[in-house]
Amino acid sequence: HAADFPLRAVGYLSHKKKAPSAEPFYELVGMDVFRTERRVDRIFERVEFPKDLPKVPHAEVPALLVFNLQFPGGPQSIVPDGDGPGASVVLYFRISNQTLDLLHRRAHHEQLAGGDEEASHVAPALNLLAEWCQRAPEDPKFRGRFKCMGFIEEIEKYGIPPIAASYNGKPVLIKKTGTLYRGDNFIEMDVNIHRFTYLCRISLIA
C-alpha cells in the first residue's frame, strides 16, 4: 500500500521529516515479462497499449505510465557492459480516477480538495508530477530526479545478502540509466539495470 512508503514531507529541507505517502496517482493495471537476448528498448513499438485510455485534463500528464525494467541475466562481470541477455519486466500504470478528479478541479481553478489536510499533502506532489512530465523528456538533469523505491516484505526469507537487504525500501535515483519516450497519452521509462553497479545487479537477479 502507498502509505507504507515514507516520503519527504513539505518543508523537508528544513525539518528533515518524512510522512506516509498519499494515495498513488497511478494504478498498476498490467505486467509483462519478456526474455531477451539483448536489451530491448521502446516497448511501445512492440506492445499494443489500451485504446480506451481516459482523456487527461492536463497537456503534459499522460494517462499511461510504462516502466520497462531491463534486467541482466547469467554471470555478471564487475564492470557493467550495459547490454546482454536477460529479461524486460514491463509495468503498466493507468492514471487513477482520483487523480483525474484532482486535475479536473485544478483545470477549473477550484480549490484543491477543499483546502483540507489532504489538499496540502497532495497539491505539491501533483504539481511536481506535472512538472516532471513536462520537463523530463527534454531535460536529462530534471529527468534524473526520478526515483524508484521497492520494498520486499519479510526479506530475510529470501537469502538476500545483508548489505543488499539494507537498501530495502530505500529510494534509488534513476539518472543515466533511464531513457524516456513520450507518445500519444503515454510516457515510457526504460531503466537499464545492465548498467547498475555489480552489487546491485547480483542482488537484483539473485
For residue range 137-159, list pLDDT tens digits in order. Answer: 999 999 999 988 888 888 888 88
C-alpha cell at 52: 480506451
Question: According to the model, what pLDDT value does residue 146 have?
Answer: 92
Phi-psi bin for 151: left (phi > 0), alpha (psi -120 to 50), beta?
Answer: beta
Residue-by-residue DSSP string for 106-151: HHTTPPGGGGSHHHHHHHHHHHHHHHHHHHTTT-HHHHTT-EEE--
Q: Name the residue range of residue 58's domain.
A: 23-146+175-205
Is 125 domain-assigned? yes
Residue spans of the chain under pLDDT 70: 1-4, 108-123, 206
Cβ distance 108 to 133 under 8 Å?
A: no
Is 13 domain-assigned? no
Question: According to the model, what pLDDT value does residue 78 have?
Answer: 92
Is 160 domain-assigned? no
Indicate the number of domains in the chain: 1
Is 6 domain-assigned? no
Question: According to the model, what pLDDT value does residue 6 have?
Answer: 72
* Spatial distance between the Cα atoms of 65 and 185, rounded to a whole number of angstroms: 9
Cβ distance 2 to 26 under 8 Å?
A: no
Is 102 domain-assigned? yes
Let me know the angle formed at the C-alpha of 78 by 38 and 91, rounded to the nearest 5 degrees: 45
* Spatial distance between the Cα atoms of 72 and 175, rounded to a whole number of angstroms: 18
